[in-house]
A = this chain, B = another copy of it.
Amino acid sequence: MSALRFPNLPPSEPQGSDLLAQERSKTTFSTHELSTFLYGELYLERQERLLTLIENEPAFDKSNRYFRGRAERFAAALRKDHAIVRLAMKHQWTLEECIQAESLIDEPGPFGLHRGMFLPALASQSTDEQLEKFLKPAQRYEIIGCYAQTELGHGSNVQGIETTATYIPETDQFEIHTPYLTASKWWIGGLGKAANHAVVMARLITAGKDYGPHAFIVPIRSMEDHTLLPGVMAGDIGPKFGYNTTDNGCMWFDHYRIPRISLLAKFSSIKPGSGEYIKPPNDKLSYGTMVLVRASLIAAARQGMGKAVTIATRYSAIRRQFVDNDSPKKLGGEVVETPVLDYSTQQYRLFPIIAAVYACFFTSKEMMRLYHLNIKNMASGDFSMLADVHASSSGLKSLTTTMAAGSIEVCRRACGGHGFSAFSGLPLMLQDYVPNVTWEGDNYMITQQTGRYLFKSFRELVAKRASGKFQASLISNPTLAYMNTYLENPSLKCPATTPAQFHNPELQLAAFGHRAASLVAQIVHALDVEKRTWNSMLVDIYNASVAHCQLIMVQNFILGIRGEMPQPEGMAVPPLTGVAKEALTDLSDLFALHTIHEKPGEFLTSGYLEAKHVSMLGAAVMELMEKKVRPNAVGFVDAFAFPDYLLNSAIGAFDGRVYERYTEMATREPLNRTEVVDGYEQYIRPFTNPKGLKGHTMQARL
């Protein structure tokens, strides 16, 4: 019961619901058609079905999510994760259904890494015996696991981890041990409180030799009563910027013994007794999994940005501020304030993000297709795609997650003061999203993987061209193709003489290709000719990776709209046509042109653009946003089909009732349960009304 009660007053005119209805009436395309193009009927139907189920389950209720402290939030998340497992078992959900349900509930929880990391690690690294012994009970949640790789002193550099697993021939056991404080396992999701087993990465030491990190499955809590097993100490690592609903944990082993079968031995093993180490075969296969994880992070970037920009766009269509004197709005003859979405700065902040969401859509789909194709090829011994796919997936993980984290914050700020309120949904969204820029490889560091591949390709291409046996028509790989175009004519110039000519996709591709290849050429020259150190080139390498990946995104966007992108097997969708195709072409243009306009430096220094082109581009971008994107803005975000339950935002709901939802949420703030605040007698009254106080010294008034 709240002491705060708002009057039954409407917001002043015009009403948010009317404004959004107007916006929707201006949309040129069918949002349902566009949603179907993006997700397919199957997904949208499943969303409806799951939503009904989920919204009726009290453990999935979001109405108190923003009010809880850490302990309450964790308790609710544990209950929620329990309910997901229960429901999944009851309804025999497929993996897709599980993922989609979790994405709607949208809260990292204590069992998240069990499904996300522990089960896949077991599945891919176990022998048949281990699959039976560990994976099966884990699939039934008898074993609840976590993936313990990161240590207090080591994150990205897995080779540096310090925990040891020493083979003891006498007992045919491993002794897991934490030799230093820095070797404490840290950040392990689900370890803090929930897991009873861990896949532990530890240095395998046998017969006096250190073979580096290997995976062990280790029981950590009693199956009887969940207490920690002797020799294991573990707990929660404390509060974080986000992810407070997950029990990221820490762990320390004191000469802890486990049987030999604990070494996940699909690839490498130990001979009992002698302790002889049996080497793994070619480890290229593991890159395949890394590509999958990174491709799924591109999809998560799309989802994160999409949710944020849905909220900000709808709110900006409703929120009004100042009067634009050059074109004042009227309502019933009176001049009213202009919706902030009509201001060109607001458009410049939000519309490129809408475009980026669609760009990520095409690229994540393509990366997923390439992943599956590559896995299939590798299974038949063909590793020819691996390097390109791995390099692109690293760079794209870096680019898209950096874009998404930045974009969510741009959306939050674009909502002004109300974007600072938890009720907007944006703060928690940002806080839970940002680990993406750090995990699976810090976004600066992993671009070195992209760089290495680009430089190698470039050098090989240059050598081939010099060999006299080169034929451009034999190039099958898109990376070599754009590099070759550059080498054919390194002083290519942009032919545009009007803003309109920048709408030509071939020109856009030429600009991005020329810039990326020119950066690569410069770096290869610096490394090979000037003999600069690798470390001194890291900033340039990062920039080259960004340039390469922006080209990929522009390319996939253009081909995707044209229906010229190869379709994943069994998942072909009919190509876009008519008004929807036109509308997405506007966004594709905006994505490409805004990317150049916002940071034209490298396009200028590559020699492709001249100064005059930058102002043409500016004109093209501003006109595109005002004339083409603005009328469809709400339609574009509606097409993402995010239900209100998912967004959980007072200001971004479908119906536009911003102020009504917002005030209603404020009445639920726990501080409002009492009219007079708890500390009043002790901390306020001594100043304001000390006479009424009994036995209180008047010191405060001295």
Q: Please state if A180 and B12 are interface contacts (CB–CB under 8 Å).
A: yes
Contact of A182 with B12 at beta-carbon distance under 8 Å, contacts A82-B682, A236-B666, A605-B604 already known: yes
The reply to whether B605 and A600 contact each other, CB–CB distance below 8 Å, is yes
| B-side contacts of A81, CB under 8 Å | 683
What is the bound-complex CA distance between A539 and B420, given in angstroms?
A: 23
Closest-CB distance, A521 to chain B (whole angstroms): 12
**A239–B196 touching, CB < 8 Å:** no
Residues of chain B contacted by A607 (CB below 8 angstroms): 611
- Are B324's CB and A535's CB within 8 A? yes
Q: A142 and B687: CB pair below 8 A?
A: yes
Whether B85 contacts A700 by the Cβ 8 Å rule is yes
- Closest residue of B by beta carbon distance from A322: B157
Contact partner of A179 (CB less than 8 A), chosen from B9, B192, B250, B660, is B9
The answer to whether A241 touches B420, judged by C-beta atoms less than 8 angstroms apart, is yes
Q: Is A505 an interface residue (CB 8 A)?
A: no
The reply to whether A155 and B420 contact each other, CB–CB distance below 8 Å, is no
The size class of the interface chain A forms with chain B is 35 or more
Measured CB to CB, the closest approach of chain B to A447, in angstroms, equals 9
A12 and B344 within 8 A (CB): no
> Are B538 and A344 in contact, with the CB atoms below 8 A?
yes
Point out the residue from B228, B235, B611, B659 that lies within 8 Å of A669, measured CB to CB. B235
Partner of A11, one of B2, B180, B239: B180
Q: Which residues of B contact A10 (CB under 8 A)?
A: 180-181
Q: Which of A327-372 contact B (CB under 8 A)?
A: 327, 337, 342-346, 348-349
Q: Type the 1/0 row for A1-37, where 1 means its CB is closer than 8 Å to any CB of B.
A: 0111111011110000000000000000000000000
A665 touches B238 (CB 8 A): yes
In the bound complex, how far is the Cα of B19 from the Cα of A153, in angstroms? 15
CA distance A522 to B535 in the complex (A): 40
Q: Are B677 and A194 in contact (CB under 8 A)?
A: yes
Could you tell me the distance in whole angstroms from the C-beta of A407 to the nearest C-beta in chain B? 13
If A182-B11, A421-B240 touch, whether A662 touches B152 (CB-CB below 8 Å) is: yes
Contact of A511 with B by CB under 8 A = no
Q: Is the CB of A141 within 8 A of B688?
A: yes
A226:B344 contact, CB within 8 angstroms = no
How far is it, in angstroms, between the C-alpha of A700 and the C-alpha of B59 when the chains are bound?
15
> B666 and A250: CB pair below 8 A?
yes
B155, B182, B238, B679: the one within 8 Å of A422 (CB): B238
Name A405-459 residues within 8 Å CB distance of B: 409, 412-413, 416-417, 419-423, 426-427, 430-431, 434-435, 437-439, 442-445
Determine the distance from Cα of A79 to Cα of B685 in the docked complex, in whole angstroms. 12
Asked if A663 and B79 make an inter-chain contact with CB atoms under 8 angstroms apart, the answer reads no
Interface status of A564 (Cβ within 8 A of chain B): no
Asked, given contacts A6-B252, A78-B677, A226-B684, whether A672 binds B236 with beta carbons under 8 Å apart, the answer is: yes
**Chain B contacts of A233 at CB under 8 A?**
4-7
A535's partner among B9, B319, B327, B675 (CB-CB below 8 A) is B327
A213 to chain B, nearest CB (A): 14
Q: Is the CB of A535 within 8 A of B684?
A: no
How many copies the complex holds: the figure is 2
- Interface segment among A67-75, A128-136, A582-590: the answer is A67-75
Contacts A226-B688, A420-B242, A420-B438; is A345 near B444 (CB within 8 Å)?
yes
Q: Which residue of B lies closest to A409 (CB)?
A: B409
Complex interface bits, A650-682 against B, C-beta within 8 A gives 1, otherwise 0: 000000000110110111111110011111101
A520, B196: Cα distance in complex, Å? 65
Residues on the B chain within 8 Å of A212, using CB: none
Complex CA distance for A567 and B144, rounded to whole angstroms: 66
Q: Do the beta carbons of A235 and B666 come within 8 Å of each other?
A: yes
Q: How far, in angstroms, from A618 to B348 measured CA to CA in the complex?
A: 29
- Does A89 count as interface, using CB distance less than 8 angstroms? yes
Is A473 on the interface with B (CB-CB < 8 A)?
no
Q: Which residues from B are CB-within-8-Å of A247?
A: 671, 677
- Knowing A417-B439, A522-B615, A675-B227, the reply to whether A66 touches B142 (Cβ < 8 A) is no
The one of B152, B540, B678 in contact with A618, judged by C-beta atoms closer than 8 angstroms, is B540
Flag if B74 contacts A671 (CB, 8 Å): yes
Set of chain B residues within 8 Å of A9, measured between Cβ atoms: 178-181
Q: Which residues of B contact A412 (CB under 8 A)?
A: 241
**Within 8 Å CB of A679, what residues of B?**
75, 78-79, 82
The answer, yes or no, to whether A321 is at the interface (CB within 8 Å) is yes
Is residue A150 contacting chain B, with contact meaning CB distance below 8 A?
Answer: yes
Q: Is A326 an interface residue (CB 8 A)?
A: yes
Interface residue A156 (Cβ < 8 Å from any Cβ of B): yes
- The reply on A477 being an interface residue by CB < 8 A is no
**Which of B421, B605, B660 interacts with A614 by CB under 8 Å?**
B605
At the interface, yes or no: A224 with Cβ under 8 Å from chain B?
A: yes
The yes or no answer to A56 lying at the interface (CB within 8 A) is no
Chain B positions within 8 Å of A388 at CB level: none
Give the distance in Å from the alpha carbon of A473 to the alpha carbon of B397 in the complex: 56
A667 CA to B192 CA, complexed, in Å: 12
Which residues of B are found within 8 Å of A601, using beta-carbon distances? 599-601, 604, 614
Partner of A78, one of B75, B599, B683: B683
CB of A345 within 8 A of CB of B241, answer no
Of chain B, the residue at the smallest CB distance from A677 is B193
Instruction: Report the minimal beta-carbon distance from A487 to chain B, rounded to whole angstroms.
Output: 19
Q: Separation in Å of the A511 CB from the closest CB of chain B?
A: 14
**Would you mind naming 14 contact pairs between A and B with Cβ atoms under 8 Å apart?**
A7-B178, A7-B252, A90-B699, A144-B687, A184-B663, A186-B417, A225-B676, A225-B692, A241-B430, A326-B533, A413-B442, A600-B604, A601-B604, A604-B605
Known: A348-B538, A349-B444. 9 other contacts (CB 8 A): A9-B181, A79-B679, A141-B688, A144-B687, A160-B321, A193-B677, A194-B677, A235-B667, A420-B434
Q: Which 9 A-B pairs have the closest CB atoms?
A: A69-B69, A4-B235, A241-B427, A82-B683, A193-B677, A141-B687, A239-B422, A605-B611, A238-B669
